[in-house]
Chains A and B, each alone.
Chain A
Amino acid sequence: MTTLDTASAPKPGTTPRASVVTAKRETDWSNALLNAYLVIFFAYMFLPLIFMVIAAFNASPTPSVTDWQGFTLRWFQELPYDERFVQGLFNSILIAFGVIAIAIPLGLSGALILTRLQSGASTFLYTVLVSPILMPGIVLGVTTMIFWRDFFNVQAGLFTAMVAQACFIASYCMLLFMARLQRQDRVLEEAALDLGASPVMVFRRITLPFLMPTIVTGSVIAFLQSIENYNTTFFAIGGSYTLVTEIGSRMRFGLSPMINAIGVIFVFITVAGAVTYVLMQRRRDRKAKG
């Protein structure tokens, strides 16, 4: 505590100016350190990805950056002829749409109930409904697989993978909806009710349009989460496969530049998505200003 006292009270001898200068010098120094750190951090984040992208264009049959055997697009050209990749992609998309169809209504219902429920049970309900996010993905896969086989004699496959994914993705959607609903002006619903609208009409004409932007973002997020999911799917999918589990099982048996090629496509879509998002955000900001 003594150090705090000496540090916080400017000594009678030093002018305030001098202490400001010292503080400034320290800020500069720590800023430089922080910037250097950021450079290293982003190198750490991006270098592996850059290697992956470069190797996708290398003719070497094992993905490599160091052993350059010439530029090729072969690995990309081979992709559409790889039956399991194509089928995996189809399965992934099938599951993803199923997940959207399940997760959005469930998440919305949960959010609507939680935002209106005025009782002590709401915290408990909330805990239950967010628990799929906090559970390890493999446990979710395991429970889903066991449940469907034990109670309905449904073997693990695309359906159980979809249900398992939808379970935790619905929690994410619920959190999105809750955030949106907290910003809702409840008086609007009362006003509509007062004007003679039935609860269904209030929901259709007032609540749902208000939630529309979140339904769209929620669907996009659900789609991406579903496509990307590995841990849960790996357990719940049984003998079937998605693009990602197929990639996973190939990686276990050795590296192929075709995976790099898929990686490049993923990177490209991600970067394009991020850039579009930023540009749209900018335009919206400018619109809001102008």
Chain B
Amino acid sequence: MTSLIKSYGKGLTGLFVGLTAIWIVLMILVPTLRMVDRAFIYEDRGGEVAMLALEIDRLYTEKFSLEQELLVLDAAETPSTDSVGVPSVGVPSVGAGLPSPSLTPSPSAAPSPPVPSVGVPSVGVPSPGAGGTPRDRTALEGRIATLEGRIATLEAQETDGSEIKGVETSYSLRNFTDMSAIHVEIFLMTLLYALCVTLLCFVVCYPVAYAAASMPTAEKLTLMMVGLVIPYAINELLRIFSWVMILEKQGILNWVFDAVGLIDFEAGEGIRFVASNGAVFTVMVYAYILFMVFPIYNTIDTLDRNQIEAARDLGASTWRIHFRVVIPHAKPGIAVGSIMTFMLSAGSIAVPEIVGRGLHPDWFSQLIYRRFFEADSWYEGSAYSLALLVACVIFILANMAIFKVGIRDIAK
């Protein structure tokens, strides 16, 4: 600290320290800690209040279907009243009767969709009798009245309850332990795919980086660099888009297949590549490959060419030169490239959203998105984000251990 004051004086040091503190506190640490905090808060949607809400929902639904039956009876009695129109929308709207929309169980949380009724009046439920008997009518009306009574009491309870408690929250690990098997599988598959993308990118990139670093003339190197920078600088989405055009059902790849007679385009044949994990994988390799090239190039570039000459002079084979001389030297670059590629692909939302169009099994990033914006469950979303973050941190640490590089070598 004194060295800082010595360099910049008290005023400027205060300014720099203040700005950095703002950056760390308001933009990095506290937001991350808040997310971690939320990840361990369990929102008790299955708790008393939420159960009430579910129960009220269920009663409304039941009441609605009874009313439908009643209407059918009416229709049968007075044919002039057409079955269409009257009750169609509106009536059973799920949230309308509830005090707070946020209590609405999300579609994913509720086991059955609470709107089973829309189809009922139009199709027409086959009535038990051709004409309803008065006995049926009275019974139905009676049941409806009972239901209304129960709903009223429950709603009263709920209003009291929500004033006192709201949705119960408590610290627990349940956001993680409650993660459904499918979500865990998606999480693991995402990491596995990201790992494969990383490995494949490395295999594809290494020769390119090596070639760039051993370009004989400055002109050739410039040309090569321009060739690498242009696709790198073009927006991620556009890179993805260009591949969607290829993989579409009416896309270029199918056209090529048609041309070689593999499929018949005219007959409407065509392989739907886009909605597969394979397509997501392919596009990801394309989209993030250049994050691998540049770090590796940078490190190989610092290798003294004489070392390679010396190794070759000693009779080492090309393979041996690479495994014993070039790759060990390029370690920090490989570590950086791997970390960037892994992090980008594991956290990619653009590729699965656009290539997959939601038609293929989820990517973990999409799950996070849905937790936040569709299920409106920020606690679970935080837990999912934290899981992803921890996975990336573990990957970074593993990389540092494997390649024996420090944090200062990594971020350059």
| A interface with B by C-beta (< 8 Å) | 4, 7-10, 19, 23, 26-27, 30, 34, 37-38, 41-42, 44-46, 48-49, 51-52, 55, 62-67, 105-106, 108-110, 112-113, 116-118, 123, 126-139, 142-147, 150-151, 163, 166-167, 170-171, 175, 179, 189, 198-200, 202-203, 224, 228, 230-231, 234-235, 244, 247-248, 251-252, 255, 259-260, 262-263, 266-267, 270-271, 273-275, 278, 281
Indicate if B42 sits at the interface (CB-CB under 8 A): no
A31 → chain B closest CB, angstroms: 9
Q: Is B8 a contact of A48 with CB atoms below 8 Å?
A: no
Of A133, A136, A151, the most chain B CB neighbours within 10 A belong to A136
Tell me the minimal C-beta distance from B355 to chain A in angstroms.
9
A65-B315 contact given A113-B16, A231-B349, CB 8 Å threshold: no
Known: A136-B343, A138-B368. 18 other contacts (CB 8 A): A27-B312, A37-B211, A46-B231, A48-B242, A55-B245, A110-B20, A112-B16, A113-B4, A116-B7, A129-B20, A130-B411, A132-B28, A134-B411, A135-B392, A142-B385, A143-B35, A267-B238, A274-B233
How distant is the Cα of A133 from the Cα of B340 in the complex, in angstroms? 9
Contacting chain A: which of B124-132, B137-145, B247-255, B295-303? B247-255
Residues of chain B contacted by A244 (CB below 8 angstroms): 235, 237
Across-interface contacts of B252 in A (CB, < 8 A): 51, 65-66
Q: Are B315's CB and A19's CB within 8 A?
A: yes
Does the CB pair B29–A126 fall under 8 Å?
no
CB-CB nearest 10 A-B residue pairs: A136-B347, A199-B9, A147-B31, A48-B242, A143-B31, A130-B411, A109-B19, A52-B242, A109-B16, A167-B27
A244 to chain B, nearest CB (A): 6
Q: Which residues of B contact A274 (CB under 8 A)?
A: 226, 229-230, 233
Q: How far is the CB of B166 from chain A (nearest CB, A)?
A: 16
Q: Are B23 and A65 interface neighbours, CB within 8 A?
A: no
Contact of A275 among B28, B226, B234, B241 (CB under 8 A): B226
Docked-complex contact B3 and A117, CB < 8 angstroms: yes
Distance from B358 Cβ to chain A, minimum over Cβ atoms (Å): 8
Within the complex, what minimum Cβ distance (angstroms) separates B19 from chain A?
4
Q: CA separation between A15 and B12, bound complex, in Å? A: 70
For residue A10, which residues in chain B have a CB less than 8 angstroms away from its CB? 315
The answer to whether A23 and B313 touch (CB under 8 A), given A51-B246, A138-B349, is yes
* Interface membership of B49, Cβ < 8 A: no
From B8, B286, B350, B368, give the contact of A112 (CB < 8 A): B8
Tell me whether A142 and B368 are in contact (CB under 8 A): yes
Docked CA distance A112–B248 (Å): 50
A-B contacts, 13 listed (Cβ < 8 Å): A10-B315, A45-B227, A51-B242, A52-B245, A65-B245, A106-B19, A116-B4, A175-B411, A203-B8, A247-B237, A248-B353, A263-B234, A270-B234
Query: How far apart are B328's CB and chain A's nearest CB, in angstroms?
Result: 15
Contacts A112-B16, A132-B28, A263-B242; is A146 near B233 (CB within 8 Å)?
Answer: no
Contacts of B354 in A (CB 8 A): 248, 251-252
Q: Residues of A contacting B358 with CB < 8 Å?
A: 252
Q: Is the interface of A mostly helix, strand, loop or mixed?
A: helix
Known: A138-B365, A143-B31. A52 touches B382 (CB 8 A): no
Task: Report the separation of the CA atoms of residues A281 and B243 in the bound assembly, to the nearest whole angstrom.
Answer: 33
Name the distance in Å between B372's Cβ and chain A's nearest Cβ: 7
Are A138's CB and B317's CB within 8 A? no
User: Across the interface, which residues of B come within 8 angstroms of A252, CB to CB?
Assistant: 353-354, 357-358
- The answer to whether A142 and B381 touch across the interface, beta carbons within 8 angstroms, is yes
> B408 in the interface, Cβ–Cβ < 8 Å?
yes
Q: Do residues B211 and A34 form an inter-chain contact, with CB atoms below 8 A?
A: yes
Q: When chains A and B are docked, how far (Å) is the Cα of A78 from the Cα of B339?
A: 41
CB distance from A278 to the nearest CB of B (A): 6
Given contacts A7-B317, A41-B204, A106-B20, A49 and B234 within 8 Å (CB-CB)? yes
Q: Which residues of B contact A270 (CB under 8 A)?
A: 229-230, 233-234
Bound together, the chains give a CA A243 to CA B385 distance in angstroms of: 25
Contact B20 A109 (CB under 8 A): yes
**CA of A133 to CA of B410 in the docked complex: distance in angstroms?**
11
B197 at interface by CB-CB < 8 Å: no
- Check A7–B316 contact: CB distance below 8 A: yes
| Bound complex: CA A132 to CA B227 (Å) | 29
Q: Are B28 and A131 in contact (CB under 8 A)?
A: yes
Contact with A along B148-189 (1 / 0, CB 8 A): 000000000000000000000000000000000000000000
Closest-CB distance, A21 to chain B (whole angstroms): 12
Could you say which residues of chain A place their CB within 8 Å of the CB of B123?
Answer: none
Q: Which residues does chain B contribute within 8 Å of A145, judged by CB atoms?
A: 372
Are B339 and A251 closer than 8 Å at their CB atoms?
A: no
A42, B389: Cβ atoms closer than 8 Å: no
Out of B24, B255, B317, B411, name the residue touching A133 (CB < 8 Å): B411
